[in-house]
Amino acid sequence: MFWKVAVTCLITAMIFTFAGCSADDGETKTARKKFQPGENTMEMKSTQENLYSDGRMVQIDFYGHKNEQGMPVEWSLVVDEHEMVRLDGENGTYTIADFKLQDIDGKKGPEVLLYLYNTGSSGAQRLNIFKPSKEGWHELFNVPNPFDMGAERFESQYVGDYKVNFRDKETGLEHIIDLEKDRYDGIEEMLEGISTWVDPIAEYRIDDHDRDGVDEIVTVQRVIGVAHVDTIATLQTVYRLRDGRYQAGQVILTTDTGELLVEKKM
């Protein structure tokens, strides 16, 4: 009986060892799958880096997977011939991808920043950031559904006299945006048509603004006026690293030239 219990415990321990982590450790980890490029796979970028800060250089390759029309629809980041991350283009939403290595958490070794780009007029971008380790890759940052930030969350209303009331219903941020009269000379009738139009995230600014050794991530979105070329304000969301993941902590509304209008902590 004793040997049966011992064998059962040993098998259980082996399962958890190869699984890499328990279900409740709060981490998103990638599988280490041997990468097999297909006939529609093309290598887009290749480099070597001391990725795990152990003094050993590893081979990093970035691949795109094309559809029948020759357009990339998925991307794979491969380390020493093992696929660590696979990104989906979300049915053509994103058609260009890239990655970079950058130390953002102030700890030993670089993080992996994976960018996806939309080629439309909004210039939308998606960013996933991973902390690599030999035990598994932990996702530090990802804004889900960067396109899903329209009228359900925001509200813009022209209230007359070259003023727009802007409200972020999720955070409670609200401000009256003063419009430049000269900009609408001859097209004043279009002002009444201003409605809720906030672009998806088009920029990620990564820097250690508070000088604590850990970078903040600031996402940038345009608030639109009478037409897409008419930016009446910029909405910025500040993410800070807390409990192993970047979380939104502040929203800031500025003019299109960067002048502060209002800010609110979350």
What residues form DSSP beta bridges with 98?
115
Give 91-109 pLDDT, tens digit per residue.
889 999 999 999 999 998 9
Ordered by start, the domain boundaries in the chain are: 29-142, 154-265
Give 166-197 pLDDT, tens digit per residue.
999 999 999 999 999 999 999 999 999 999 99
Topology at the third CATH level for domain 29-142: Lipocalin (2.40.128)
pLDDT at 77 over 50: yes
Give 197-239 pLDDT, tens digit per residue.
999 999 999 999 999 999 999 999 999 999 999 999 999 999 9
Residues 6 or more apart whose Cβ sits within 8 Å of residue 44: 62, 63, 64, 75, 97, 98
pLDDT averaged over every residue in the chain: 88
Give 144-172 pLDDT, tens digit per residue.
777 765 778 999 999 999 999 999 999 99
Residues 6 or more apart whose Cβ sits within 8 Å of residue 193: 158, 226
Q: Nearest-CA neighbor of 236 among 212, 210, 216?
A: 216
* CB atoms inside a 10 Å sphere around CB 221: 21
pLDDT at 43 over 50: yes
Query: What per-residue confidence (pLDDT) applies to 199?
Result: 94
DSSP code for 198: B
d(CA 102, CA 99): 10
Which amino acid is located at 156 in the chain?
S
Which amino acid is located at 116 in the chain?
L
Calculate the dihedral angle through the C-alpha atoms of 206, 143, 127, 152, rounding to the nearest 10 degrees: -100
d(CA 100, CA 50): 14
Tell me the whole-structure pTM to 2 decimals: 0.85
Query: What per-residue confidence (pLDDT) applies to 49?
Result: 97
d(CA 201, CA 146): 6
Give 8-39 pLDDT, tens digit per residue.
443 333 333 333 333 333 333 455 789 999 99
d(CA 120, CA 87): 19
Q: Nearest-CA neighbor of 231 among 83, 72, 122, 96?
A: 122
